[in-house]
Structure 1
Amino acid sequence: MDLYKVGMRVEVVGHSDGFWNSYYGAKVLRVDRTKLRVRYDQIVDEDYGEYTVEDVDLKHIRPYPPESFDINYRLTVGDDVEVYDRDGWWRGEVVFDELDDELMVYFSYMAGDDEEEFGTFPYDDVRIHQEVKQVGKGFEWSHVKVAGPK
C-alpha cells in the first residue's frame, strides 16, 4: 500500500454511467488499505463551493501520468488520446489532424448516446493515452496505440 502517499497527485478513473473512459485529477488526502480519500482538482461541490472530497476505491485510481514520453512527438490520425474537457480527460482516437492548431477526435463509447461522438480540440488540450501497471514499488507507463511520429 506504500505506492500511494498523502499529497500525491493521482487521477480518478470514471466509474459510473456517463463517465467511462474519463480521468479526473486529484490529490491524495488520506491512504487506507483499500481506499484513498482525494480532493479533486477541478470538480466543485455545488452545495459548499469547495473542491469535492471523496473516498475512492483503489481500483479506480491511477497515478497522474507523466507529461510526455517524447516532446518531439506530433499527434496524428490513429493515435489513442485523452482530451481535456468538462473538468476531466476523455479517451478517444484522433481521426483528423489537418486543422491549424486542432485535432478532431472520435469517442467510440459515446456512439448512440445523446453526446457528440466527434469533437475538435486544440493541441494543448490533447495528450497521448497511457496505461499504467505496478512494477515493484513503483509504476510503469506505456502508450496504448500510437500511429507513429510525423
Structure 2
Amino acid sequence: MVFQAFPGGSGGMASSHDPGFRGSWFAGTVVRREAKNTNRYVVEYDQLYEDESGEKLLQETLNWIQLRPPPPPPEKKKVQLKFGDEVEAFHSDGWWEGAITAEHSGGKFVVFFRGSKEQIVFEEKDLRLPVQWVKGKWEPRFEQFTQGMQVEVLTDEDGLKGAWFAATIIEPSGEDKYLIEYKTLRNDDDTEFLREDIRACNIRPCPPEIIVVDGFKVMDEVDAYYNEGWWVGVIAKVRSSA
C-alpha cells in the first residue's frame, strides 16, 4: 500500500497492536506524517478517547501497515453467513476480526474472537465479510487457490464442526468455491476419498510447521490433531510427563 494515497486530514481505518486491541480496526483521521520516519503517521481516532472523561480524542503514531482506507459498502448481493465464516463484527466502536461459531434464530450469530477468547452474539447487520487492502484496491480476504494445491478445509458436517481436514484443490467450482478432495475422509461406501464443493473462506493453506520452544501453557489456543483432523481448542490443564 502506498500511503501517499492518504494525505493529512483524510479519513481511514487504523489497527492497534496494543494488548486487547489486536485484530480490530477503528475509524480515524490522519493528522500528519512523521518527518524523521516517513512510514509512520499520527492518527486521531473518531471514537476512542485519551481517558474516561471522553473530552479529548486519542492520538497515536502508527506504522503505515496499520492503516487502510474505509472499506467500501457491502455489495447489494446479500451473502448468506454461516458457521465457520470469518467475519468482522462491529463491537465497542470498532470492527473486530472473528469467526462464526453458531447460528441463532432471528438472524443472529455467535462470533468467537481469538484474541480475547470471547463469544458474543451479534445481529447480521453488525457483521461483514473481511476484506483486505492490496496494492491500492480492496479484495476479498481469501486465498486464490490453484489446482493441486495442498490445503486444509473447515467442514460444517454434524460431528465435525470446528475441525480442519487436509485436502487437495481439484478445480474451481463456482463463485468463491472450489471442488476439493479430502486426504483422510472417505465416502459412505469407503471406496474413495470424499470430494466436496467448499467456499473459499472455509479453506486455508496448510500452516507451516512451528517448533514450540517453551511448551504449551494453560489457556493457550491450539489446534489438536484428533480423528483425522485439526480441532480448535484451548489447553485446560498441563499434565506432567513423569
Do they superpose with TM above 0.5? yes
CA distance, structure 2, for counterparts of residue 71 and residue 50 of structure 1 = 40
Structure 1 residue matching 2:6: 3-state secondary structure: coil
Aligned-residue sequence identity (percent) comes to 24
Contact 1:4 1:31 in 2 (8 A): no
Report the equivalent of 2:156.
Answer: none
Amino acid at match of 1:20: R
Verify: 1:67 aligned to 2:73, yes or no: yes
Q: Which amino acid counterpart does residue 39 of structure 2 have in structure 1?
A: T
Does structure 1 retain, via aligned residues, the 8 Å contact 2:71–2:138? no
Deviation at 1:48, TM superposition (A): 6.8
Q: Deviations over 1:78-98 (max 9, x none)?
A: 211011112211111112223
Query: Counterpart of 1:121 in structure 2: which amino acid?
Result: F
Q: What letter is aligned with 1:2?
A: Q
Q: Which has the larger radius of gyration?
A: 2
> Is the 1:65–1:141 contact (alpha carbons within 8 Å) kept by the matching residues of 2?
no
1:29 aligns with 2:35: no
Deviations 1:30-80 (CA, angstroms, capped at 9, x unpaired): 234212222211101226712212222212112221222454222222211
Q: Which residue of 2 aligns with 1:39?
A: 44
Amino acid at match of 2:102: F
- Structure of greater relative contact order (alpha carbons < 8 Å, 6+ residues apart): 1
Number of aligned pairs? 139
Aligned to 1:143: 141
Give the letter for the 1:107 counterpart: F
Alignment-mate amino acid for residue 146 of structure 1: C
Distance across 1 between alignment mates of 2:54 and 2:138: 37
Gaps of 5+ in 1: 112-116
Aligned pairs (5 A) from 1:1-150: 1-32=3-34, 33-46=38-51, 49-111=55-117, 117-134=118-135, 138-144=136-142, 146=201
